[in-house]
Structure 1
Amino acid sequence: MDTQNNQSIIQFTNPELVESIFMENPNYSGSEKVSQKLNISSEHDKIVEENKYEKSTTVSLTVTNFDKIDMNSKLPFFIRETMKAKFIWKKGLNNNDEENLLKINAASLLLSYIRPQVRNITSLSKFSEQNIPFIDFTSQI
């Protein structure tokens, strides 16, 4: 496949890691089996017109297992990873299609950068390695 002639209508800048937290909970006893529930949230800045042909915005995606670090919680560790990138697309999409592009495509792309980060950092700990499954971002629209 010719990558030059088959480019998607949406392009992105190199994703950037903007937040990375991993902290062992010193009060975790290790006796309780805890299923790590990871929460995923995505947001984007205001959509702007780059030029007469293109629009853009910055999208960030966060994966975390906590809302607030609470050493009395039953979590064995606290983790949060956030990546962001600027997304640029050709004008002509309606507002609904733009939102879907950002909520589904952009979020999926950013999660693909976070997934190995979470796996790697948890595999280096004494806790079981966490693998983020494939996520159906279409269920959020």
Structure 2
Amino acid sequence: MKESFFRLRSQFTEEIIFKKNSDFKDRKIKLKVSHKLEINNIDETSSSVRLIFNIFTEEELAVSPFFISITQLGEFEYPSDLDRTDLENLLNINAPAVLLSYIRGLISQITAFSGYPALIIPLINFAK
């Protein structure tokens, strides 16, 4: 198997915010997710990528079952001669997809421990 030239060097959860609406009445609701991506170049062969992933908003807490915000940070390595367009695609599409895989597991655990069924977030196409 050939090793990828775009590698995750390290990752960690920077922040988790969870607020439960104990007054929420069980009813069918549409899940509202949003995300923000921050990319910082460290040097010519590495960048840090921060993915902030939210389910609902704090302002919507009165009409939603909970609010979750998770910030996951990853440091990615790549060759210095990588084409800039390819690098931008890797950092804006591939990197958040990798970080989301960690966030998805956290969300499932948090919701399960809070008394709700474990919420499994679907995969997201960051190319759009």
Q: TM-score range by the shorter chain?
A: 0.7 to 0.9
Q: Is 2:43 aligned against 1:48?
A: yes
Counterpart position of 1:61: 51
Counterpart position of 1:30: 25
Counterpart position of 1:111: 100
Please say if residues 17 and 68 of structure 2, whose CA atoms lie closer than 8 Å, have aligned partners that are also in contact.
yes
Work out the CA distance in 2 between the residues paired with 1:35 and 1:72: 14
RMSD in angstroms over aligned alpha carbons? Answer: 1.9
Please say if residues 48 and 56 of structure 1, whose CA atoms lie closer than 8 Å, have aligned partners that are also in contact.
yes
Counterpart position of 1:52: none
What amino acid is aligned across from residue 29 of structure 2 in structure 1?
A: V
Alignment CA distance shift 1:120-1:11 (3 Å): same
Aligned match for 1:133, one of 108, 116, 122: 122
The alignment covers a number of residue pairs equal to 128
Q: Which runs of 5+ in 1 are unaligned?
A: 50-54
Secondary structure at the counterpart of residue 13 of structure 2 = strand
Work out the CA distance in 1 between the residues paired with 2:80 and 2:69: 34
Shift of 1:110: 0.5
Identity of aligned residues (%): 34
Shift of 1:86: 0.9
Work out the CA distance in 2 between the residues paired with 1:35 and 1:85: 30
Q: Which runs of 5+ in 2 are unaligned?
A: none
Q: Using structure 1 for the length normalisation, give the TM-score.
A: 0.80
Q: Using structure 2 for the length normalisation, give the TM-score.
A: 0.87
Work out the CA distance in 1 between the residues paired with 2:120 and 2:100: 12
Answer 1 or 2: which has greater helix percent.
2
Aligned match for 1:20, one of 16, 24, 28: 16
Q: Is 2:53 aligned against 1:91?
A: no
Secondary structure at the counterpart of residue 108 of structure 2 = helix
Counterpart position of 1:11: 7
Secondary structure at the counterpart of residue 118 of structure 1 = helix
Structure exhibiting the larger radius of gyration computed from Cα positions? 1
Work out the CA distance in 2 between the residues paired with 1:30 and 1:70: 17
The one-character-per-residue Cα deviations of 1:21-41 (angstroms, maximum 9, x if unpaired) are 111124x33154322212122
Answer 1 or 2: which has greater strand percent.
2
Runs of 4+ in 1 over 4 A off after TM superposition: none
Please say if residues 34 and 76 of structure 1, whose CA atoms lie closer than 8 Å, have aligned partners that are also in contact.
no
